[in-house]
Amino acid sequence: MMMLIGGEWTASCSGETYEVRNPANGMPVGAAPLGNAEDVKRAVDCAHEAFKKWSGIAARERGKILFRAAQRVREMQHELAVTLTMEQGKPLKEARDEIQGFANILEYYAGISAALDDRSVSLPKGGRCIVLRRPIGVCGAIIPWNVPAIIMGWKVGPALVTGNTLVLKPATTTPLTSLSLASILKESGLPDGVLNVVTGRGASVGEEMVRSPAIRKISFTGSVETGKRVLQAASASMKRVTLELGGSDPMIVCDDADMNKAVEGAVHGRFYNCGQTCTAVKRLYVFESIAEEFVRRLKGRVECLSVGNGLDEGVDMGPLNNGAQWERIKTLVGMVKEKDEGNVVSGGKVPEGEKYKNGYFYMPTLVTDVSPGSALLKEEVFGPVLPIITVKGLDEAIELANDTRFGLGSSIWTRDIEKIRMACERLESGVTWVNQHVRLPPEVPFGGVKESGVGRENGIEAIDAYTELKSIIS
């Protein structure tokens, strides 16, 4: 596919392309231009030009385009989901849900467009202040490969409805879904230059976007390490920044929890998207009085998960998205075994067999008796490995849950209202789920505390993140 700059499907300035490969079998699924700094400059110029008109259109008119695009995305759900599965690896059912999620987000912000207005404040001595809500200008969106459609929606929806124009950079391994969704927005009437997609590497395209003084805001979703670099580089031109970074979400299972529900929640929370979700359950704390029974049931359930190519019928878990992640997971579990930092009670290896030969597959893995200093607890484990820790009670669980530099999500599983209240108040995270984990509809403001990020996306709050207020006093 070509990339989209100023409404034109275009090659990169260098003419270079790269292959996109299916992580389930290593087969090529397409190609994308290898963009560079020059391509970013072209895109920024087009976005700057397009801003002049787009920012002056009534918000409801902008919303109508998003509505039309959402409808078209729903019509093309299957084709889009196949593209997503082929480049990302997730099971087709999850890919279909994700595409639907993208449409939901566009519709949510299209709906909000009708309510966007300015504010009037009366002042002492008969004065008046009108507070205008204005778009920021050209914005940059840098997104990861794990949930490329939803995360693109989180940025495109609020940025465009508020009158900004956008330069978007997909992750290197998942450009095709973003380009297909951009193509639908274009067909739905989005004017040329309002949304530009530049494909290529973070070190060239991404860094140039963060450097470019003409980009007034960067919304970045990715790892904490890259997020820190983005924050530092963005300061040179005093850009607005939203950073949605990594997490190490704790799930706390109390002795009075509905055990079946908690087991299902742990399976979905950890192994959905092969464990590559920012808000996946990455540490599980279970009360010691029920731990043995809980682990027995969880192990039984996990060992029934079918691992395979996401396009195949009945597959519950696909491969990891790329070789670097696959190597990291193998190394992490290898270290646990080598250093005797825990008991691998299920999985802990690459599956064997012809169908797994050329893919980045890893078995769903459970580790118990994890040592407190283990990287499984200290780092973000972005793959299908769940460390399980037993605790005496809620105080200990909360203390251990908060003992991390991350603070994205957390969950409490209990029937006791007092325990729920205590956990919701004390867990250090941007979101706490009660008897569930992971679900994030567009209405919910979302973001992290501590090193998990800066700012909020989603919900009405994202409107603030893409607008500047200007006060006019008379």
Catalytic residues: 155, 244, 278, 457
Chain centroid to Cα 70, Å, comes to 19
Q: Count of residues binding ligand NAD (CB under 6 A)?
A: 31
Selected range binding ligand NAD among 104-112, 219-227, 310-318, 386-394, rule: CB under 6 A: 219-227
* CA–CA gap between residue 469 and residue 182 (Å, rounded): 29
DSSP symbols for 87-142: HH---HHHHHHHHHHHHHHHHHHHHHHTT---EEEE-GGG-EEEEEEEE-SEEEEE
User: Of 116 and 462, which has the nearer Cβ to ligand NAD?
Assistant: 462
Are 195 and 181 in contact by the 8 Å Cβ rule? The answer is no
Binder among 51, 108, 145, 466 for ligand NAD (CB under 6 A): 145
User: Of 151 and 438, which has the nearer Cβ to ligand NAD?
Assistant: 151
Binder among 89, 193, 246, 275 for ligand NAD (CB under 6 A): 246
Q: Could you tell me which of 132, 172, 174, 139 has the C-alpha nearest to residue 156?
A: 139
Selected range binding ligand NAD among 57-65, 146-154, 286-294, 308-316, rule: CB under 6 A: 146-154
User: Of 212 and 414, which has the nearer Cβ to ligand NAD?
Assistant: 212
Are 84 and 95 in contact by the 8 Å Cβ rule? The answer is yes
Are 447 and 461 in contact by the 8 Å Cβ rule? The answer is no
Least distance in angstroms from the C-beta of 98 to ligand NAD: 12
- Under rule CB under 6 A, residue 207 binds ligand NAD: yes
Neighbours of 217 (CB within 10 A): 23
Bridge partners of 285?
252, 389
Q: What is the 3-state secondary structure (H, E, C) of 264-317?
A: HHHHHHHHHHHHCCCCCEEEEEEEHHHHHHHHHHHHHHHCCCCECCCCCCCCCE
Are 457 and 242 in contact by the 8 Å Cβ rule? The answer is yes
- Under rule CB under 6 A, residue 239 binds ligand NAD: no
Residue 461 DSSP SS3: helix
- Under rule CB under 6 A, residue 135 binds ligand NAD: no
Residue carrying the six token digits 């980045």: 360
Least distance in angstroms from the C-beta of 169 to ligand NAD: 5
Are 190 and 69 in contact by the 8 Å Cβ rule? The answer is yes
Give the footprint of ligand NAD on residues 268-287 (CB under 6 A).
Answer: 278
Least distance in angstroms from the C-beta of 170 to ligand NAD: 6
User: Of 251 and 291, which has the nearer Cβ to ligand NAD?
Assistant: 251
- CA end-to-end span of the chain: 53
- Under rule CB under 6 A, residue 450 binds ligand NAD: no
Q: Helices marked H in 122-223 — which ranges?
A: 148-161, 175-187, 207-211
- Under rule CB under 6 A, residue 382 binds ligand NAD: yes
- Under rule CB under 6 A, residue 169 binds ligand NAD: yes
User: Of 163 and 442, which has the nearer Cβ to ligand NAD?
Assistant: 442
User: Of 221 and 390, which has the nearer Cβ to ligand NAD?
Assistant: 221
Selected range binding ligand NAD among 222-230, 299-307, 337-345, 461-469, rule: CB under 6 A: 222-230
- Under rule CB under 6 A, residue 152 binds ligand NAD: no
User: Of 230 and 366, which has the nearer Cβ to ligand NAD?
Assistant: 230
Binder among 33, 91, 202, 318 for ligand NAD (CB under 6 A): 202
Give the full edge-to-edge strand order of the sheet including 119-122. Answer: 119-122, 128-135, 467-473
Question: Footprint of ligand NAD on this chain (CB under 6 A)?
Answer: 142-147, 151, 169, 171-172, 202-203, 206-207, 210, 221-223, 226, 229-230, 244-247, 278, 380, 382, 408, 448, 453
